[in-house]
Amino acid sequence: MADLSINFAGIQSPNPFWLASGPLTNTGYQVMKAFDEGWGGAVWKTVGDPIINVGSRLGSLDYGGRRMMGLNNIELISDRPIEDNLREIAEVKRKYPHHAVIVSMMFEAKPAVWAEMVKRVEDTGADAIELNFGCPHGMSERGMGSVVGQVPEYTEAMTRYAVDVASIPVIVKLTPNVTDIRVPGRAAVAGGAQALSLINTINSVIGVDLDTWRPIPDVDGRGSHGGYCGPAVKPIALHMLSSLYNDQTVGLPLCGIGGIETWRDAVEFMLLGAGALQVCTAAMHYGFRMVRDLTEGLNDYLDERHIARVEDLIGQAAPKVGDWNDLRLSTSFQMVARIHSESCIGCNLCHIACDDGAHQCIGRIPGQIAPVVREEDCVGCNLCSLVCPVPGCIEMVPVEKGPVETWRQHEARLQQQQA
């Protein structure tokens, strides 16, 4: 059995799977139930000054028969009294000393308030603090959440308020509602953060009811922009994670969040730099027991590859994600589509997709079921293999065409020729 335990910025956890701050981590009852099911850690629902919520709060993007591909919410931070949260956090940590208990916090930009609250959180025995600089709705209109994460100077200063008084690790949770995630990431580093987590939710309007013309979610006829999450946001999270991991000036442990639903997602996040993982939407959808599939699948994956420790995955694929300018040009290296005629069902989707949406290199031969690819015209875009409903029927095959040349090298060569 592979070792799934992690040490993330000094936080010990029996496995890398933590529940993200949200409705799943609102009470001690839930967190203890989750730990009993096998979750390695939990980030408590953001604690802050008491707020009042609205209903309804959630809207779903259903796609092709799949429920909750994306989830939108206008829920605010914890609406429970701070005393109740702190008492239950202490109880959880006492009963589960080997699990990771992290407390998410959000307060106004007042150093004295942070000093007092960090101290009270530490007194619970919690393992770490996560600063919520990410929620894009509601709290941002009150000068907290993503408005802090969107202004590097605020991120740095607010991080400093917590770091200056904390004796446990401070994780800064970043908002994806920025142009370049490295900017707030570097600001958090400058503020003294010990780790970063990402992503919080993406600003969004999920839809409109076609009968009532009311926005979704509907609060007595009105709606508001909310935070988007779930499987649909995974590619955005992976991009931001890898760009932070590859940034030489960041260099902090990264906790990956955003659309994690299967052990495969978990492996991808770890390969692109995550040292721990947080899950929200998928566990809201399927319940705490989903963690059994996550741990079993991850364990099998590691065992099959004779990888002894899950931490050996961290960042292994990240250096392969870089600038477009460093990719080999098509004059040097090409992919071409090959259709395996024996498995083709003659649906014609590849032909139509290529003819209308790509490069007109898949033709039909009268009396023959399988279309044929004119390889000399194929640009290797992948579209035919993506629309093909038969797994493995269209294979993308690499073709070496000449010496390695990237755009960067190409440009340098042209400049040399002109000089």
- The residues annotated with a catalytic role in the active site are 135
Region binding ligand FMN by CB under 6 A among candidate stretches 88-96, 132-140, 204-212, 360-368: 132-140
**Taking CB under 6 A as the rule, does residue 45 contact ligand FMN?**
yes
The 3-state DSSP class for residue 353 equals helix
Q: Does 242 bind ligand FMN (CB under 6 A)?
A: no
Computed from CA positions of residues 289, 293, 296, 299, in that sequence, does the dihedral angle turn out positive or negative? negative
User: Binding-site residue total for ligand FMN (CB under 6 A)?
Assistant: 28
Q: 13, 124, 132, 385: which one contacts ligand FMN (CB under 6 A)?
A: 132
The span from the CA of 163 to the CA of 129, in Å, is 10
The string of DSSP letters for 279-346 reads ESHHHHHH-TTHHHHHHHHHHHHHHHTT--BGGGGTTSSGGG---GGGSBPTTTEEEEEEE-GGG---
Q: How far apart are CA 24 and CA 34, in angstroms?
A: 9
CB-nearer residue toward ligand FMN: 45 or 186:
45
Which residues from 333-352 bind ligand FMN, rule CB under 6 A? none
Closest CA to 60 of 255, 218, 220, 291: 218
Instruction: Name the residue among 204, 203, 134 with its Cα closest to residue 174.
Output: 134
What x/- string results for residues 266 through 285 when contact with ligand FMN is judged by CB under 6 A?
Answer: -------------xxxx---
Please identify, using beta-carbon distances, which residue of 285 and 328 lies nearer to ligand FMN.
285
290 binding ligand FMN? (CB under 6 A): no
Q: Of the two residues 156 and 261, which places its CB atom closer to ligand FMN in the complex? A: 261
397 conformational bin, left if phi > 0, alpha if psi -120 to 50, beta if neither? beta
**Interface with ligand FMN, residue 21, by CB under 6 A:** yes
The amino acid that residue 29 corresponds to is Y
Q: How far is the CB of 381 from ligand FMN (least distance, A)?
A: 29
Which CB sits closer to ligand FMN, 14 or 59? Answer: 59
Q: Does 47 bind ligand FMN (CB under 6 A)?
A: no
Q: In the set 230, 256, 371, 380, which binds ligand FMN (CB under 6 A)?
A: 230
Tell me the C-alpha distance between 244 and 198, whole Å: 10
Residues forming the site for ligand FMN (CB under 6 A): 20-23, 45-46, 71, 73, 75, 77, 104, 132, 134-135, 173, 200-201, 229-230, 233, 257-260, 279-282
